[in-house]
Amino acid sequence: MKIGIFGGSFNPIHNGHIKVARYLIDHNLTDEAWILPCKKHALDKFLDREEDRVAMIKLAIGGIEKIKLSDFELKRDGKNYTYETLRGLKKEYSHDFSWIIGSDILKQIASWYGYEQLKNEAKFIVLGRQGYPIINPGINIEAVAECTMENISSTKVRERVREGKSISDLVPKAVEDYILQNRLYISK
């Protein structure tokens, strides 16, 4: 089975994430898309509690066939690096894995931990991001998805919540309700 790994902090998951995952499945680029939240951000960015991030992912993808939550990195201690996660997934599963990344990541991927091994072992599906041309830094780009990432970010969601503005156009209704009920992102 071909699995697209969509890793990130998902702090919180938003409509852009869901749109991309659906696009990959609908256009047969992957059989399933696995949402893979990190336990601790590799660049030490602040993350809300993993319980909240996981709950919001489950709410966002509930009922969507072929989009699944993977807690693979959450079960591991310390920082998670893509290369180590890839090796662990390959040991545990016999699936064919591809990493889903935005074109904004291409200019920094050479600085990732284990980049030399990663570029030899990993396959990538690249999503266009406005203002970031697709320039291959020497990785195995398996496909370029025509689905351009919308100008939505988790940062924008958090900022709007802090400012008391609506996020109904950025996240699924169930995620919006969860954020408001649990008073997330109000003071961060």
Q: Is 130 inside any structural domain?
A: yes
Q: Is 171 inside any structural domain?
A: no
Q: How many domains does the chain fold into?
A: 1
Encoding tokens for residue 48?
Answer: 């809300």
pLDDT tens figures, 51-72: 999 999 999 999 999 999 999 9
Q: Is 163 inside any structural domain?
A: no
Q: Is 77 inside any structural domain?
A: yes
Q: What is the value of pTM for the model shown?
A: 0.92
Q: Is 129 inside any structural domain?
A: yes
Whichever domain contains 29, its CATH number is 3.40.50.620
* Residue 10 lies in domain: 2-150
Encoding tokens for residue 137?
Answer: 């830094």
Q: What is the mean pLDDT of the chain?
A: 92
- Beta-carbon contacts of residue 31 (< 8 Å; ≥ 6 apart): 1, 2, 3, 25, 66
**Distance from the Cα of residue 138 to its chain's centroid:** 22
**Crossing angle (nearest 10°) for helices 173-181 and 50-61:** 150
Q: Is 181 inside any structural domain?
A: no
Q: Is 168 inside any structural domain?
A: no
pLDDT tens figures, 126-184: 998 878 899 999 999 999 987 766 678 899 999 999 999 999 999 999 999 999 999 99
pLDDT at 43: 60
Contact 66, 98 (CB under 8 A): no
Q: Is 162 inside any structural domain?
A: no
